[in-house]
Structure 1
Amino acid sequence: MTNEEFRRSFKVPHHNNLGLAVYSCGVQRCAAGHSWGPAIRDHYLIHYIVSGCGVFSVKGNEYNLSVGDGFLVVPSCVASYAADTEEPWEYCWVGFNGSDAKQLVDQTGLNEENPIFHYEHDGKLEGLLTDICNVSGSTPAAEARMLGGLYLFMAELIDHLGNASTQRTTGYEYVQKAIKFIDYNYSRDIDIEDVAESAGISRSHLYRIFMQHVSMPPNEYLMRYRINKAAALLKAGNLSVGEVAYSTGFSDQLYFSRVFKRHMGVPPSRYLNQKKNESTS
């Protein structure tokens, strides 16, 4: 590298099975014509250009990019990028993946069909990406700090690009949001209004898309979810019927017993005894 070129980067040596994890981060002023690919990544990778220019190519499309532009590389999608020969770019980047990564990226509106964005170069995105590099490391504390920095960076992109993302959100994505909310909150005193609000849609819209994608109303889904959780707790045999009822969002034990019997065919007390007998036989 010449004195004008530099690269500062960090790559996580191993990845735990997490919902979201930073794989790499860095800042680089590239040499003239410096390139990567065509190849694939096994993770999401977002670059943001802070000076110079270059070309990003994916799916037969070629994008000429410069200061303030950014691009997304999607896992398993063949892509390439190269710095300009006269004004090579300098960029910051972060790579990440995990079971929650796609949903996070989807909220920005970026995808392999729409991989380019522009964010006025005011130093904010550059600062957020640099912050991730500044706390990089392989310890659990460093990984947590890197993840926190990633969330802040992605939140800024969602705020900046989110309106377009909301317009493209499909019915199934709303269902996924609602189901995730139920999964996290079924033990609390929630109702369908709360579920619809969490997905950002009306109760009537929530009903229509649940019938379309799940083949049951959302209130029925919530009830069945709670009963299945209750059955699992009863089967474990560590809690009383009353404790199970309160642990799965039922404040009225008698109502819980009626609903449980309707779904499982027997009252919860009998179900509990049956499972205890099965475990001792």
Structure 2
Amino acid sequence: MAVVQYNPERPFREGNDLYVSYWGKEDCSPGHAVGPGIREIYKVHFIHKGKGIVKVGKETYTLLAGQAFMIYPHVITYYEADAEDPWTYSWIAFQGNQIAHALSRTSVAPEAPVFSMDLRVMPRIFEQLLEVSGSAPSVDLRVTAILLQFLAALTDGAPAESTNSVPSQKHDLYVHKSIEFFKTHYSEKISVEQVAASLQLDRKYISALFKKATGLPPQQYLLQYRMERAEEMLVKGIYTIGEVARSVGYQDALHFSKMFKKVKGASPKHYLPDHFA
């Protein structure tokens, strides 16, 4: 049975440094599986007891009590409880423009998402989250403080091992800064060259890093992100196709409609109420 709590104080806004979205705990049933899929936020699972597997890319990890795994934004992840000794885990999902920098101080990365934590420290952190009252005026501050406590424990428990790990950490930071650039400027006419220039990197270099980390070329990621935002606007039923097109970076509504159908499998009109059809 899962126990899930959400931070009700305010929705995440672009520019927040650190923000906890939700957290919880679950005694998983045998073979309980999630994915493969992607998320737009960070999510860490800590195993209290039992065991299971995590698949990221071509790698499969077997995890036991005291270990944890990090789900990175836009990285395809699959995890499954053991059929005979299913795990019990707690999780915390978070986001913010300081997360990538905080994680760069650890040995955890998209290509190395599994780590070990102190069995005395981590359960208490998750207990504090589960004790937070959803009605308290200070709930957002309290859960952010607990997130900082977790990041500190992670930095101490899984520190960057040596200078040899610095390049991969920088690569991870470059990818996340690229994603932040897309999310901030998706309504504008932007290009991979602009992203590369903002990072003072070569276009081909950042494109290769981006695809390795996310599985998508930067332009394909931007296209999918734009269409996700477009779909959100269309289903509200208060914007015309032209307004939606311009809001996601397309001045030509016909070109937008063509790209939308290519990504979503249906034309924008399919999402509009009758009075806009």
Q: TM-score range by the shorter chain?
A: 0.5 to 0.7
Distance across 2 between alignment mates of 1:56 and 1:171: 21
Map of 2:204 onto structure 1? none
Partner SS for 1:164: coil
Q: Match for 1:45: what amino acid?
A: K
Alignment correspondent of 1:251: none
* SS of alignment partner, residue 149 of structure 2: helix
Q: Which runs of 5+ in 1 are unaligned?
A: 1-5, 177-212, 215-281
**Letter matched to residue 63 of structure 2:** L
Distance of aligned partners of 1:19 and 1:88 in 2 relative to their CA distance in 1, 3 Å threshold? same
Residue 250 of structure 2: aligned partner: none
Matches within 5 A, 1:1-281: 6-12=1-7, 14-17=11-14, 18-121=16-119, 123-135=120-132, 137=134, 141-164=138-161, 168-170=165-167
Q: TM-score, normalization: structure 2?
A: 0.56
Contact conserved, 2:116 with 2:158, CA < 8 A, in 1? no
C-alpha separation between the residues in 2 aligned to 1:49 and 1:69? 6
Task: State the distance in 1 between where 2:65 and 2:56 align.
Answer: 20
Maintained 8 Å contact 2:104/2:169: no
| Greater radius of gyration (CA) | 1
Identity value in percent: 29
SS in 2 for 1:162: coil
Closer, same or farther: CA 42–51 of 1 in aligned 2, 3 Å: same
Offset of 1:148 from its aligned partner?
0.1
Change (3 A) 1:149 1:172: closer
In structure 2, how many angstroms separate the alpha carbons of the residues matched to 1:137 and 1:106?
Answer: 31
CA-to-partner distance for each residue in 1:152-196, whole Å, 9 max, x for gaps? 0110110111141665235996xx9xxxxxxxxxxxxxxxxxxxx
CA distance in 1, matches of 2:168, 2:90: 34
Moved over 3 A (4+): 170-173
Q: CA deviation at 1:109?
A: 1.9
CA contact (8 A) 2:18 2:96 kept: yes
The amino acid across from 1:111 in the alignment is A
Moved more, 123-132 or 23-32: 123-132
Which whole-Å CA distance do the structure 2 matches of 1:88 and 1:136 have between them?
A: 29
Q: Decide whether aligned partners of structure 1 residues 15 and 64 sit closer, same or farther in structure 2, where only a CA change above 3 A counts.
A: same
Indicate the SS of the match to 2:36: strand
Q: Aligned partners of 2:156 and 2:55: how far apart in 1?
A: 26
Give the counterpart letter for 1:97 in structure 2: Q
Instruction: Tell which deviates more after alignment, 33-42 or 8-17.
Output: 8-17
Q: How many residues align?
A: 170
Tell me the C-alpha RMSD between the 2 structures.
2.4
Q: Which residue identity lines up with residue 12 of structure 1 in the other structure?
A: N
In the alignment, the residues of structure 2 paired with residue 65 and residue 171 of structure 1 have an alpha-carbon distance, to the nearest angstrom, of 23
What is the CA distance between 1:113 and its match in structure 2? 0.7
Judge conservation of contact 2:42–2:95 (CA < 8 Å) in 1. Answer: yes
Counterpart residue identity of residue 149, structure 1 = I
Distance 1:117 1:78, change over 3 A: same
